[in-house]
Structure 1
């Protein structure tokens, strides 16, 4: 295919547009071909920045899937106000022409959209093509209160301070392990000894007691005096283990948004913590997505044949393979037969405004609804 387009990817949409125009020329009068083509156009490549509702079709790895559950997307922290709810008087024409909000569009400044039952006005240009999606009224991050660090201050757990152009989270006092108390050892039993003859001499025993007393007094005199208490050392958040450095926001990390948990991040020069789920959900086949193609099989087959024929004609109009030409002629014949009601293309029909009956050709309508030849001049 790369050799066919010769490294010019713009030829694909050109061929698709030509095939779509031919489809409309043949089927637009009696069939809802615009709605059928819109089904395929609304299938976009999966983006982790988009939050998908239930029963939405996405494209991933060249396959089409249907969402079974709500799939969450990235939500970046920001202190900018992208949307403002319309509560004051605005031009009624803007309200009347307001479109429903879609994550797949680009929004200029001042545009008003309808989101649920409320109206919102865009304050900063953003959108899908820029990879910067912000839903009206949805704020998954909340800005934290920052206190400049000062020594000898009392801090509570999870408070945030600023020091040397960086932000730190107070982790609290470190937990100390209580020492295990060993049981007192049992006294050892001493063997009885025979009394010596010197023990009976009172003078010798008295002299020994005086020597022992004199030794104890000398030991007391040699004990050093205790040192005076030194001043306490002040530790900064960079040196104190009770403080943790807060890192920058990264899409590669998963953040905890549980109640009572403060998973701080730094973005746009300030600190945020999540209050809603800011992480994208993982796509798992059979759990939150399933393989399903909502497109009409006949339209997909014939549109592909016609588009491939036009792709060859754009590159070299005089060098189209015969197989492509035969396939193109078969598809054109199918479109002609469908437009003349010679076949049933399995497509929804347009209906009359007054009777809500399916639209048919003029000749078929006259012949089917009135069998009197006098009322059909073309039969006389």
Structure 2
């Protein structure tokens, strides 16, 4: 089988060795006589997988004790609602850094739950730049500050994070978790749907500080409370066991690559090939996001007209490059170079882009 170069934004590329390992265990896990898809989530086998996956994730990001990892369903979209349901209490205001489409969706969900405000926004500039964190002032009645660290659709990424003091900082890191070194302790809660750098779609990892867990709203249904998942080791209800197992394999692969420091270096080289091709040659390709705010995960660009963009996508697919059409809400082109996308793929795409510009520019 000749595999395509997968630049899909999510579900996204998975490491080949992870897929092969999962294939080996698909019909029968270990010597259990059945697959994980059939196994009880109350079994010791599943309990161990969940515990090991939590340990691996905390070790990779280097968080100290005092944090828990929860495995939940519903993707990041569920977290948009669960965060305010748990932490937006009467007499407080949730404040959001609105830097792209998903950040805006998170804000709108919070408004449906309680008092919420935009702390800063990049919408007026068409998402071409990120809100200036130097202008941010956080009022003392703030329940939490929420930010999306990487904007998958628009192709922008925060390099710095606000100092919120005692006020919890909550981050949607769905599209850049494990891709770069961060001061993780700035955040009281991080969530990431798995279908980018953590594994396949179907499970969301929530990394939450113990102190914040204790402060959560106890007057909502148990199934919506983070503390419920913590108290039951993510086994309160039937979890997506196979997706968690795939996350475990992906985390083990991440560790074998040298962990986050090595992947960060690799990601900088990979995305560098693409931005070099975008910036070459008289504006034939035009980066959508201003250079200081560009993402290392999702490169976005436009071309002289939509007809050329469609031609580019069709020719790219014939050459084995998959997933390059921009999001339907913004159009243009996008290449998502998550951890599992090899540097070879980015070099090959850059070569194709340069050739296409010479032929059609």
Larger radius of gyration: 1
Q: Is TM-score (shorter-chain normalized) higher than 0.5?
A: no
Higher helix share: 2
State the TM bucket, normalised to the shorter chain. Answer: under 0.3
